[in-house]
């Protein structure tokens, strides 16, 4: 983990409410692994000066470029959207335990909204292609599906209002696929309800399910305990509190005590 001064090279509107930032951050880009995140100090943010955590959406160790995909939800993300290119900012990273990259079956990635960010980075680094299951409230929350297809991934979409793909939750197409081919390994990032549902399916089918948790964070370096999650040790069943920032954000389904 490094603290670095990164330069904002580009801000791109991806879809309504979603942006992609490109930074020049070679020290982080050279070490980044899928599932890790960066902690960004948003400049001139008086109401709350805490850093904001964002998954690494992509990283190019050759060019030194680091990419973050985010949704505008409050002060920090609004401020990020207004910054001019060339702005320097402090970024800490890469932080946390990444996704493992050795699936024992077909990789099934499950995400929605900005949860697709670490899954894209993961899709570019996994040794085999699989299926992206992407869900959201409406079509506007379904991001980057063409990019996954171009990379050779199958994409199955579900929206709650039926505006794109099948109508309902992302677990519907996931269940269909698991019924056809239960020899899969699951990787998910999104809201707790979705993670819990994906984790239950991993346990039910006796396969691994890697879940990236999204907790409110303060320090991002394991010191403040703002981000704790109850987990159980596999084998013994002993329960303890883990810090999502440094012990996660990725946990195996069986570890998490919901």
Ligand X SMILES: Cc1cc2nc3c(=O)[nH]c(=O)nc-3n(C[C@H](O)[C@H](O)[C@H](O)COP(=O)(O)OP(=O)(O)OC[C@H]3O[C@@H](n4cnc5c(N)ncnc54)[C@H](O)[C@@H]3O)c2cc1C
Q: Torsions phi, psi of 132, nearest 5?
A: -100, 125
Residue 243 contact, options ligand FES, ligand X, none, Cβ 5-8 Å cut-off depending on partner type: ligand FES
Binding footprint of ligand X on the chain (CB under 6 A)? 37, 48, 52-55, 69-71, 73-77, 114, 117, 214-217, 249
Residue 69 contact, options ligand X, ligand FES, none, Cβ 5-8 Å cut-off depending on partner type: ligand X
Smallest gap from residue 224 Cβ to ligand FES (A): 3
- Residues 6 or more apart whose Cβ sits within 8 Å of residue 201: 171, 174, 175, 178, 186, 209
For residues 77 and 18, give the distance between their C-alpha atoms in angstroms, rounded to a whole number: 10
CB 25 within 8 A of CB 66: yes
Binding ligand FES (rule: CB under 6 A), the pick from 14, 45, 72, 219 is 219
- Window of 1-9, 99-107, 140-148, 221-229 that interacts with ligand FES by CB under 6 A: 221-229
Nearer to ligand X among residue 38 and residue 177 (C-beta):
38
What are the CB-based long-range contacts (under 8 Å, 24+) for 241-244? 244/96, 244/213, 244/215, 244/217
For residues 202 and 91, give the distance between their C-alpha atoms in angstroms, rounded to a whole number: 34
Place of tokens 């990283």: 59
Sketch the per residue contact string, 165 through 204, with ligand FES: x for CB under 6 A, - otherwise.
Answer: ----------------------------------------
Strand, coil or helix: 121 = helix
For residues 160 and 128, give the distance between their C-alpha atoms in angstroms, rounded to a whole number: 30
Binding ligand FES (rule: CB under 6 A), the pick from 227, 231, 242, 250 is 227
Residue 43 contact, options ligand FES, ligand X, none, Cβ 5-8 Å cut-off depending on partner type: none
| Residue 222 touching ligand FES (CB under 6 A) | yes
| Residue 223 touching ligand FES (CB under 6 A) | yes
What residue ranges bind ligand FES (CB under 6 A)?
A: 217-220, 222-227, 243, 245
């Amino acid at each position: 983990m490094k603290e670095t001064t990164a330069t904002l090279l580009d801000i791109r509107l991806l879809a309504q409410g979603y942006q992609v930032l490109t930074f020049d951050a070679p020290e982080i880009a050279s070490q980044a692994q899928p599932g890790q995140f960066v902690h960004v100090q948003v400049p001139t943010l008086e109401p709350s000066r805490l850093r904001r955590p964002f998954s690494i959406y992509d990283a190019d160790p050759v060019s030194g470029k680091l990419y973050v995909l985010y949704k505008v939800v409050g002060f920090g993300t609004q401020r990020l959207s207004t910054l001019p290119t060339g702005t320097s900012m402090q970024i800490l990273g890469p932080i946390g335990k990444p996704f493992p990259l050795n699936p024992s079956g077909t990789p099934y990635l499950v995400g929605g909204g900005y949860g697709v960010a670490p899954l894209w980075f993961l899709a570019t680094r996994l040794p085999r292609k699989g299926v992206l299951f992407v869900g959201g409230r409406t079509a506007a929350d379904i991001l980057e599906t063409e990019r996954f297809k171009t990379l050779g991934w199958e994409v199955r979409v579900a929206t709650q209002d039926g505006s794109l793909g099948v109508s309902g939750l992302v677990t519907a197409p996931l269940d269909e696929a698991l019924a056809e081919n239960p020899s899969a390994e699951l990787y998910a990032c999104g809201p707790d309800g979705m993670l819990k549902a994906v984790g239950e399916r991993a346990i039910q089918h006796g396969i691994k399910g890697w879940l990236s948790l999204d907790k409110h964070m303060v320090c991002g370096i394991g010191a403040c305990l703002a981000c704790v999650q109850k987990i159980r040790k596999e084998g013994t069943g002993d329960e303890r509190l883990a810090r999502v920032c440094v012990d996660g954000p990725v946990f195996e389904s069986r570890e998490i005590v919901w």
